[in-house]
């Protein structure tokens, strides 16, 4: 985990992760052992301090953003998507891809839409307006 987080922080200027509800996932008896073994909290903790150390920007996307349920091709949001569905199939545009890849594409689009033309995100612009 140390090697991976160091590699990411050193080699990428911007890293995007989701704010996962780990305690909620652990309460699901079918997921509990697998989620607990993953060390999500430790991974995020290491990324946070290493990004600060190496000058990378860590962006944490809100846990309620429907990254898995949204079509990265047309933007249609599914009402229900079970954990067993590993391939995302959009009824609107017939787009199909791996569920996790679809979520990653949506996270990338969510972050890029918050960046202004001059490369500042909305928080930076608000801070500049206050100054």
CA gap 93, 96 in Å, rounded: 9
User: Is the domain of 70 the same as that of 127?
Assistant: yes
Mean pLDDT taken over the chain = 83
CA gap 75, 67 in Å, rounded: 10
Domain span at residue 3 reads: 1-63
Between 22 and 16, the higher pLDDT residue: 16
Give the pLDDT score at 121.
54
Task: Inform me whether the pLDDT recorded for 112 exceeds 90.
Answer: no
User: Is the domain of 101 the same as that of 74?
Assistant: yes
User: Is the domain of 43 the same as that of 95?
Assistant: no
Listed in order, strand segments (DSSP E) in the chain are 14-18, 57-61, 87-89, 96-98
Q: What is the pLDDT of residues 19-64, one digit of tens each?
A: 887 777 788 888 788 878 778 888 999 999 999 999 999 999 888 8
As a whole number, mean pLDDT of residues 78-99 equals: 91
pTM of the model: 0.70
Give the pLDDT score at 128.
46
User: Is the domain of 94 the same as that of 108?
Assistant: yes
As a whole number, mean pLDDT of residues 102-111 equals: 86
Task: Inform me whether the pLDDT recorded for 6 exceeds 90.
Answer: yes
Total domain count for the chain? Answer: 2
Give the pLDDT score at 118.
45
Q: What is the pLDDT of residues 91-103, one digit of tens each?
A: 999 999 999 999 9
């Amino acid at each position: 985990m140390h090697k991976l987080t160091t590699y990411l922080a050193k080699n990428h200027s911007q890293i995007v992760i989701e704010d996962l509800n780990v305690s909620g996932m652990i309460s699901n008896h079918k997921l509990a052992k697998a989620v607990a073994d993953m060390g999500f909290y430790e991974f995020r903790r290491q990324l946070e301090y290493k990004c600060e150390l190496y000058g990378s920007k860590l962006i944490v996307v809100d846990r309620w953003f429907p990254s898995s349920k949204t079509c990265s091709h047309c933007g249609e949001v599914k009402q229900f998507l079970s954990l067993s569905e590993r391939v995302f199939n959009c009824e609107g545009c017939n787009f199909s891809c791996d569920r996790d890849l679809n979520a990653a594409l949506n996270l990338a689009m969510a972050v890029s839409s918050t960046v202004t033309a001059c490369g500042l995100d909305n928080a930076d612009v608000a801070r500049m307006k206050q100054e």
